[in-house]
Amino acid sequence: MPRVSRATTLIELLVVIVVLSISAAILFPRLHRSQTESARLTRSANELMQVIRHAQNLAIGTQTVHMLHLDLEAQVYWISVRSFQGEDMPLDKGLGLRRTLSQGIFFAQVLRDDLQDTIETQVTWPFDPEGRGIPGSVTLRGEQGQTLEIEVRDALDLNGPCFVRGGEHEAI
């Protein structure tokens, strides 16, 4: 009786390895890109929340009005202070807190209860000596459409600024 071998041949094994390698080469860069964008989006949102909290704390600590400036075209933000005489400090003499959003992350939308025009290119967000600001939110968007919204709350709110929601950018 002849013996039939059911073993895998070397050629079959090489074909499986080649197919798996091609699949991995196609899938991993896409997966890596979306994970890195998500990480950059989260990092940018965390940094912006820290700056908001810092502006509120500075306003409370110095009993002066501090302002968060958002430049929606250049994708930068910084803090300045209003003097006791009511004059704004020149922006080039800011508090050294000028930051840029991570590469590929953009301001998608800035909503503030007192703003009528949502097409502003620069928004100034004042915080009074009690750390109160105008309620609103800032939405950050990644190149691949992921979004993350930051709600701006009063310093007296124990949660402070926080993530509200994130997800895929919806086409209008």
Q: What are the residue ranges of helices labelled H in the chain?
A: 10-62
Question: pLDDT per residue over 6-15, tens digit each?
Answer: 666 888 888 8
- CA-nearest of 143, 15, 64 to 56 is 64
Largest interatomic CA distance in the chain: 106
Q: Is 114 exposed, middle or buried (0-12, 13-18, 19+ CB in 10 A)?
A: exposed
End-to-end CA distance of the chain: give it in Å, rounded.
Answer: 73
Q: 26 φ, ψ to 5°?
A: -85, -45
- pLDDT reported for residue 52: 87
Q: 11-168 — its CATH code?
A: 3.55.40.10
Q: Is the pLDDT of residue 92 over 50?
A: no
Confidence of residue 171 (pLDDT cuts 50, 70, 90): very low
Q: Enumerate residues 6+ apart whose C-beta is below 8 A from 168.
A: 145, 146, 147
Domain boundaries, the chain: 11-168
Query: What does the chain come to in residues?
Result: 172
Separation CA 25–CA 48 (nearest Å) = 35
Q: What is the pTM of this model?
A: 0.69
Strand duo 162-168 + 99-100: pairing: unpaired
Per-residue pLDDT, averaged over 115-121, amounts to 69
